[in-house]
Structure 1
């Protein structure tokens, strides 16, 4: 811990931070955002926390953002990793453990100055996802041994990729023993500052908290100054007058107060403004020291001593003496083994404002000259620094060339936001530099397409489309291949925006202008994109012909990524029309081609369909093997949260859930978490509801609260989450809520989409429950309404199972689709009062490809139907089989329903594990167990016929039980018997 004065006025804030650190150590990751004005003490507070964390055995990683605009992606992450790898406060074993973890993750290791180049085979469009996954994996690995405190300072200067990483970690860190602390200047967050919406978004997350540092009050300022007063000879002692004047001038800002007090102690007049104060501190330095400070200010928040010497023009001995002087005045502080940092950013800013224009230009030019060699040697980040310094030095050709290189580096690092900025800067300089094509290594259209690609990869698809529409006017109509590249990109991004009609029109027009002979990679890519968009509609029978053409052209031109994409699309088209064809090998070929071409997203798309087609055909063992293989590949590439990486992980979970391996499914679900914000996270969390609802988990409400804001815009989230919430409502007898969820889920689907079948079957169950209750209550109107509702949803399920969206006969339907249709038909029979056992046997058979839970659910209903039809022996066998599976799975809601059925139909004695209810006392002691069941129904207002139906007995037997109850209770009527039940607190009586 630091000195006590470090804690003046900050004990409560430090308590909040240490509380977050303690929770992280216990396995509950958390994020704390520390805000306050410049100089209010944010860095001192987190330094105190870091010192405390080290005493508790935590690993501490601290990184600083720098005021370089958006030029250097992941700078604080790089800083944190590089500093921690050389941290003298860490043991050699700890430093080696970190280095080993980085070496296992080349995508992170290459961020470091000695990290080497881009690993082979990494596609730029997934590099950011790989890096994010690697950071999460690194933190998880480090925190397995000891808690981790990750501090990211000065986030108001963070680049866009760092902001994205902050959001990602805030959302996905769950059970890792990680405490992430970020600091930022609240006074810098103007209305349009890019960090402002990020902070607003993060503070809505339940695992993110904010700590705002306020200025000191008068008493705190006096205590702080007293702690600073070390009795320097010749300086005035702290007096009430000085304390008051310092407080008035500093307004309680600790940094300002310390600087003002230092001025007072050295006999200086108090400056009128802080800038003057800071400059006065600099002016007391020797000329050589002032020169070093100016050079360091131009370099950035940090600088190494060798670079200072080179740019300053001073000899090594003079620079050494100047640095000792500066450090003694606490303007720069040692940082690592070979560098220095400004003690506060305000000191650097003051030094910068004092530079003459020509002086600043000269210093920037000197740094650019040094960086040119580093950039040429490929040092990571040098191109971005070179572009910054060259632009400030008015070297437009140098800034142009460095911006292009920086954009390419940012793409490789998966930092598309920074790539956009660099490419935009280069495009803005295109007309101002000589021979830009040679300097850039590409023409203007190619550079613009690079900017478009960066826009698309950063998620700004509309911006990409806008760029492309402007770019169309710049393309020479006679350059058909370049035009094809532009139009293919435009068609692709229009498809991502669901602008299918325009996407098809653009692709079609481009194909008409691009000659088929000779074949070109551009035509292959254009055809593959055209086919991909066509798949979303059944109106295009020419899909297979065009897909084959795309494959032929791709093979002729070596465009393996286009071939893989077209093969996958062709397989999907054929699968829906060739019910006997197993197209797995087609998807396998597409996957292998895409991997060979380094197109990982195309590979993951194909890998998913390998597992999915096996699952749809009931080959659960094959689906499990394919899903596990796909997920291993996904995680190995750091793509666990990419689009198809998430889909593959969902498939892996679903297979284990289906086969009844719920323990393994639960392990997989633990990686998904509850706190979600993006679509991929929400989809994964929605899948976990399969297990939560089936087990009756207590986390359902919390999970749904996170999913609800997203399901209006994400059809898959709505389909899964609302469909399962409908089932959850039915387990609790709430048919109204169930049908509301059904309506919400169906609003996102067409009536002939196959996912409609399952939701429709759930709706039929809700109406069947209503019909059964209405029939027992003698409410004919409600019964007829429920039967009509069941009819409507059965027709919906039949239509989706037999007809495609464009009205054609459906050639193929997966095994699960057939099973849910059978379920809908059986539930309709229950709604009509028939409850035909043959239909429920068909449901059991339909799910008997290995769907353990749904087989058990179907056997529950089959046992009920058999009991209603008098076949108690067969009903008991089905009931016992369902009980065994429900117990093994831990399916609590189903187990309770089976216990209720077993009691009512006297099928068995086993009941769900639960604490026994208190036995009735007093007048009810004389009743048998069966008579108590009858009394409960009497108290609900049931007549003998309704009691008989509920307990699977005859009305005559029900009448005998009622007579015995009246006699034993000594009452003359059913109403009086119900009153006794209420008075005695009889269990389950409404």
Structure 2
């Protein structure tokens, strides 16, 4: 479907490629036919518009004819339409064929008695031969008259070696079981010259891309439009307009949808109305009972509905073809009719969630409260925390309106609200959990959870206070063990960190005595982090492995154990084992519904980082593709930030869009640390060191002194200062980095893993570079420090080492480091680093990798050359690199000139000889 602004074709590249292939065969003398089907509004016309544009670029004469909903009253209407809209040369050629001339403007009064089908078809074949190559498009075949259907069959069977491509479009949702086009399509699809192209709904990512081209829309509105449009671009356009005007279901769209319902028989409409009350899906037996129709009449009504594509058969029931159709039918019901149907479903249903929905819609508040509470407990057991939270909140919202609410819910209001808060946290909404817990009576259990979630939102002082209250109010040993474990955790990075070991020891003793495995694991993990920071890595490993050895019954705690087990291996450079543990944790998070919980999110970004550090960038980019780009919640924003690592390093087009969505979350310290730190690198690669420095200073301002995270930021800030040619602020950045190394966040020293130590050395080297000193020994240390498996940073350090060696007069050593860095940058497709290395190589007058010359190609030209060597066309390269086809053409011309060759094949061969295609 076309974008409302840019005119780009979104999400249909595969379908377009198939149609272009038929067009190319036709250009070479093998005629072909393509049948393009899809629901109304799915994007058939936009796809054909793109195909027509490409056909004209390739020199095709284009005929486009439209069928109309007129039955057989105007035979050959699309052929007449196509001839009337054709280029003058084609119309002149048609006029030379008397049979076709009668279809042209001004000839309608000519005698038509001789307009026999056989003679007309023969004349059309003659015309197509005269003006080939030809693309003949017949749109909306579902409205085609009988003569046009015959014409389509004739062309499909008779065009063989002519340079002709015939394309027909039709609506699949209009083809009921007795539609005359059905048998024609079935016959044609068996022919070897006919290609069938079905346009299904756009994927959610493509729909998001499409909607954002229509105009400004926030994350919540975008999500609503995408979910309701269900992959249909036309519906998305209508919903976008409705959102702008504050409407729910646009009148025009509702009328369009209901026009397809109104052609049903009365029993068919009755069944469809009942199905709409059931929701998107309904069981066959349940629908029959509620409709009240005799079995034979019910089955005939359902057969009619299914044949018209309004419902689809789905297992033992039926699903609405589109969610908006269900919404339109439901909205069209009278209030009393709607209430009676909901009550009928409620009498027959036993599933709690559906019962709650129908009780509520049928105004049975007591039934809705009881069913909502039970639905929440069921969702909790099934590992669906977001759904559980929603059901519990619905029950809580009804609480004051129902007598005997506690008996109906099966527990007190406080107990239900506590469950709701825990489920909110498990689904990733810690802030909602905190709000709900603060509204509850302050028991030890409530205060312990409040402290736990406050700590995860970095509210340290309030977390400590809540944990102290939890310990003081503990009523039994299990509650005391959990309170002590959480209390120790809240003190971990505070000035009172020395109390952690004693508190965790006490928590472990209490937990083991009480059999509270979750509290025991929590204490073990906190103690492991504490001793790791003190430098006893071996003991930390042992504690984490003990914590991970068996489950606790608390899924969130089990995920926390897996995360720390993977993290400690990652931070010690043991990437293989870290990956294995992270993969297992991610599987558990998805299986249990905790994918958006704190550690469900953390495990996913850790797995991404392992790929990134190990140089597995294609895998990292694939993982990043699953991270939400258009974010609406803080967990989504944090996860999205990590995708920037590889997107910035490869200079992918997604960077600017992702940053624009992340800006509203820069008030959060972690989201800002990740996304603004990488925004700073992006600015540096694009020649804007001042903007990079602004990002660094903004992120570092609220960070506590000694935070190890300042090391990376300080290095980036010093890089920016070196580019600006000023030393102002360099000493402050060095001082903060050294404090993090020497004193740590507690102010009393701490342990840094291999990556932390590497960044610390790089800060020192960058500081010297700011002051005009390219210190070879320091940059050698940076290379060695990152060479524990951090592929990209090792290459970046080699770049600086090569500069230092060249400045020191060691040209041979400099070229050796430069070649190693270029080899890595090429394999990673790290375009900005490749560009920087090529520029340095030109200034240093180095040859290409392996001593071969690179012909002066830029990094982008090398990237284009690699795709040329794969056999891709300019259009395909443009699609792969997200650049204009004309830009690709310029790059290819430059490549041919620089490599002194005349063909693409020769360019590929020259690239291989020069080592550019590694």
Q: Same fold (TM over 0.5)?
A: yes
Q: CA 1:742–1:662 in structure 2 vs 1: closer, same or farther (change >3 Å)? A: same
Q: Please give the secondary structure, in 1, of the residue aligned with 2:752.
A: coil
Equivalent residue, structure 2, for 1:691: 646
Contact 2:511 2:517 in 1 (8 A): yes
Q: Please give the secondary structure, in 1, of the residue aligned with 2:734.
A: helix
Equivalent residue, structure 1, for 2:806: 867
Q: CA 1:207–1:627 in structure 2 vs 1: closer, same or farther (change >3 Å)? A: farther
Equivalent residue, structure 2, for 1:404: 373
Equivalent residue, structure 1, for 2:352: 383
Which among 682, 698, 702 is matched to residue 744 of structure 1?
Answer: 698
Q: Deviations along 1:69-109, whole A, 9 cap, x unmatched?
A: xxxxxxxxxxxxxxxxxxx99xxxxxxxxxxxxxxxxxxxx
Which among 7, 12, 20 is matched to residue 22 of structure 1?
Answer: 12
CA shift for structure 1 position 607: 2.1
Find the aligned partners of 2:614 and 2:273 in 1 and give their Cα distance. 68
Which among 544, 552, 567 is matched to residue 501 of structure 2?
Answer: 544
Q: Which structure is higher in RCO with an 8 Å CA cutoff and minimum separation 6?
A: 1
Find the aligned partners of 1:252 and 1:370 in 2 and give their Cα distance. 30
Q: CA 1:631–1:514 in structure 2 vs 1: closer, same or farther (change >3 Å)? A: closer
Q: Please give the secondary structure, in 2, of the residue aligned with 1:812.
A: coil
Asked whether 1:720 is paired with 2:660, we answer no
Q: Deviations along 1:386-414, whole A, 9 cap, x unmatched?
A: 44555677877655533332232343444
Asked whether 1:589 is paired with 2:546, we answer yes
Q: Please give the secondary structure, in 1, of the residue aligned with 2:751.
A: coil
Q: Which 10-residue stretch deviates more, 452-461 or 757-766? A: 452-461
Find the aligned partners of 1:557 and 1:712 in 2 and give their Cα distance. 43
Find the aligned partners of 2:698 and 2:732 in 1 and give their Cα distance. 17
Contact 1:822 1:843 in 2 (8 A): yes
Which among 391, 397, 400 is matched to residue 419 of structure 1?
Answer: 391
Q: CA 1:872–1:549 in structure 2 vs 1: closer, same or farther (change >3 Å)? A: same
Equivalent residue, structure 1, for 2:446: 486
Find the aligned partners of 1:799 and 1:758 in 2 and give their Cα distance. 13
Find the aligned partners of 2:721 and 2:42 in 1 and give their Cα distance. 60
Find the aligned partners of 1:172 and 1:251 in 2 and give their Cα distance. 21
Asked whether 1:519 is paired with 2:477, we answer yes
Asked whether 1:554 is paired with 2:511, we answer yes
Equivalent residue, structure 1, for 2:719: 765
Equivalent residue, structure 1, for 2:785: 846
Find the aligned partners of 2:847 and 2:253 in 1 and give their Cα distance. 78
Contact 1:170 1:208 in 2 (8 A): no
CA shift for structure 1 position 465: 4.1
CA shift for structure 1 position 757: 1.0
Tell me the TM-score normalised to structure 2 length. 0.60
Equivalent residue, structure 1, for 2:573: 618
Pairing of 1:366-381 with structure 2 (within 5 A): 368-371=346-349, 375=350
Equivalent residue, structure 1, for 2:776: 837
Equivalent residue, structure 2, for 1:35: none
Q: Please give the secondary structure, in 2, of the residue aligned with 1:571.
A: helix
Q: CA 1:548–1:311 in structure 2 vs 1: closer, same or farther (change >3 Å)? A: same
* Alignment gaps of 5+ in structure 2: 19-36, 49-175, 178-195, 212-218, 240-250, 859-918
Asked whether 1:605 is paired with 2:547, we answer no
Contact 1:765 1:824 in 2 (8 A): no
Equivalent residue, structure 1, for 2:903: none
Q: Which 10-residue stretch deviates more, 577-586 or 814-823? A: 577-586
Q: CA 1:799–1:426 in structure 2 vs 1: closer, same or farther (change >3 Å)? A: same
CA shift for structure 1 position 653: 3.2
Q: CA 1:817–1:173 in structure 2 vs 1: closer, same or farther (change >3 Å)? A: farther
Q: CA 1:173–1:601 in structure 2 vs 1: closer, same or farther (change >3 Å)? A: farther
Pairing of 1:217-256 with structure 2 (within 5 A): 253=255
Q: CA 1:586–1:870 in structure 2 vs 1: closer, same or farther (change >3 Å)? A: same
Q: Please give the secondary structure, in 1, of the residue aligned with 2:559.
A: helix
CA shift for structure 1 position 613: 1.9
Q: Please give the secondary structure, in 2, of the residue aligned with 1:724.
A: helix
CA shift for structure 1 position 639: 5.7
Find the aligned partners of 1:833 and 1:340 in 2 and give their Cα distance. 73
CA shift for structure 1 position 753: 0.9
Contact 1:754 1:800 in 2 (8 A): yes
Contact 2:492 2:530 in 1 (8 A): yes
Pairing of 1:875-914 with structure 2 (within 5 A): 875-905=814-844, 913=854
Q: CA 1:171–1:692 in structure 2 vs 1: closer, same or farther (change >3 Å)? A: closer
Q: CA 1:404–1:768 in structure 2 vs 1: closer, same or farther (change >3 Å)? A: closer
Find the aligned partners of 1:847 and 1:583 in 2 and give their Cα distance. 23
Asked whether 1:807 is paired with 2:747, we answer yes
Find the aligned partners of 1:688 and 1:301 in 2 and give their Cα distance. 35
Q: Deviations along 1:853-892, whole A, 9 cap, x unmatched?
A: 3333333333332333334444444444444444444444
CA shift for structure 1 position 257: 8.5
Q: Deviations along 1:404-433, whole A, 9 cap, x unmatched?
A: 322323434441353134422563366446
CA shift for structure 1 position 835: 2.4
Q: Deviations along 1:511-550, whole A, 9 cap, x unmatched?
A: 21325xx522x22332333333333524342222222333
Asked whether 1:787 is paired with 2:759, we answer no
Aligned residues: 667
CA RMSD of aligned residues (A): 5.5
Q: CA 1:868–1:603 in structure 2 vs 1: closer, same or farther (change >3 Å)? A: same
Contact 1:686 1:707 in 2 (8 A): no
Contact 2:493 2:746 in 1 (8 A): no
CA shift for structure 1 position 571: 1.2
Which among 469, 491, 516 is matched to residue 534 of structure 1?
Answer: 491
Contact 2:373 2:409 in 1 (8 A): yes
Q: Please give the secondary structure, in 1, of the residue aligned with 2:750.
A: coil
Which among 463, 473, 478 is matched to residue 503 of structure 1?
Answer: 463
Equivalent residue, structure 2, for 1:648: 603
Find the aligned partners of 1:206 and 1:298 in 2 and give their Cα distance. 23
Contact 2:776 2:805 in 1 (8 A): yes
Pairing of 1:840-989 with structure 2 (within 5 A): 840-905=779-844, 913=854
Contact 1:400 1:429 in 2 (8 A): no
Q: Deviations along 1:622-659, whole A, 9 cap, x unmatched?
A: 44444455445556667666543343333333333333
Q: Please give the secondary structure, in 2, of the residue aligned with 1:583.
A: helix
* Alignment gaps of 5+ in structure 1: 1-10, 29-44, 57-87, 90-144, 152-168, 181-193, 215-248, 263-277, 376-381, 476-482, 772-785, 918-990
Find the aligned partners of 2:645 and 2:271 in 1 and give their Cα distance. 64
Q: Deviations along 1:303-361, whole A, 9 cap, x unmatched?
A: 7786578679x8x85x75699799999999987598799998777777754569xxx78
Find the aligned partners of 1:326 and 1:885 in 2 and give their Cα distance. 62
